[in-house]
Amino acid sequence: MAVASNTSPMIRKSESASQWWTRWLDPSERTLAVLLLLPAALLLSLIIVYPVVRLVWTSFQNLSLTSGVPAKFSGLENYALMLEDPIFWEATWNTVLITLITVPGALVFGLALALMANLPFKRKWPVRLSLLIPWALPLSFAGLIFAWFFHSEYGVVNDILRRVGISGIIWFNSAGWAFAAICLTIIWKTSSFMALIILAGLQTIPRSLYEAADVDGAGRLRQFFEITLPLLKPAIVVALIFRTITALQTFDIPFTMTRGGPGTSTSTLAMYIHQNTVDFLDLGYGSALAVVMFAISMCVTTVYLRMIRTKG
Partner 1 sequence: MSSVSFRRLEKAYGPLRIVKGIDLEIADKEFVVLVGPSGCGKSTTLRMLAGLESISGGEIRIGERVVNKLPPRERDIAMVFQDYALYPHKTVYDNMAFSLKVRGVPASDIRTRITQAADMLGIGQLLDRKPSQLSGGQRQRVAMGRAIVRRPQVFLFDEPLSNLDAKLRGQVRTEIKRLHQAVGTTIIYVTHDQVEAMTLADRIVILKGGEIEQVGTPDEVYNKPASVFVGGFIGSPAMNFAKAQLQGGRLKFEGGADIPLNPGVDVKSVALDGRDVVVGIRPEHFSAAGQGATLSGRVQVVEPLGSDTLIHFAVGSSTLTARVVPEMRPSPGEILEIGVDPSRVHIFDAGTERALH
- Give the residues lining the site for partner 1 (CB under 8 A): 206, 208-209, 211-219, 222, 226-227, 230-231
Question: Which of 16, 208 has the CB closer to partner 1?
Answer: 208
192 in Cβ contact with 131 (< 8 Å): yes
Q: How far apart are CA 64 and CA 23, in angstroms?
A: 53
| Least distance to partner 1, CB of residue 303, Å | 22
Residue of 138, 135, 132, 157 lying closest to 146 (CA atoms): 157
Q: How far apart are CA 8 and CA 23, in angstroms?
A: 12
| Least distance to partner 1, CB of residue 243, Å | 23
Question: Which of 5, 208 has the CB closer to partner 1?
Answer: 208
| Least distance to partner 1, CB of residue 304, Å | 20
| Least distance to partner 1, CB of residue 104, Å | 22
Question: Which of 70, 312 has the CB closer to partner 1?
Answer: 312
| Least distance to partner 1, CB of residue 108, Å | 21
Radius of gyration over alpha carbons of the chain, in Å?
A: 27
Question: Which of 210, 294 has the CB closer to partner 1?
Answer: 210
267 dihedral zone (left: phi>0; alpha: psi -120 to 50; beta): beta
Question: Which of 103, 235 has the CB closer to partner 1?
Answer: 235
Q: How far apart are CA 131 and CA 192, in angstroms?
A: 5
Question: Which of 218, 238 has the CB closer to partner 1?
Answer: 218
Question: Which of 15, 211 has the CB closer to partner 1?
Answer: 211
Q: How far apart are CA 287 and CA 306, in angstroms?
A: 28
- Count of C-beta atoms within a 10 Å radius of residue 297: 15
158 in Cβ contact with 151 (< 8 Å): yes
| Least distance to partner 1, CB of residue 202, Å | 15
Residue of 180, 231, 190, 205 lying closest to 108 (CA atoms): 190
Question: Which of 97, 227 has the CB closer to partner 1?
Answer: 227
| Least distance to partner 1, CB of residue 222, Å | 7
CA angle 35, 37, 39 (to 5 degrees): 85
169 in Cβ contact with 88 (< 8 Å): no
First to last CA, the chain: 36
Report residue 274: phi and psi, to 5°.
-60, -45
| Least distance to partner 1, CB of residue 312, Å | 12
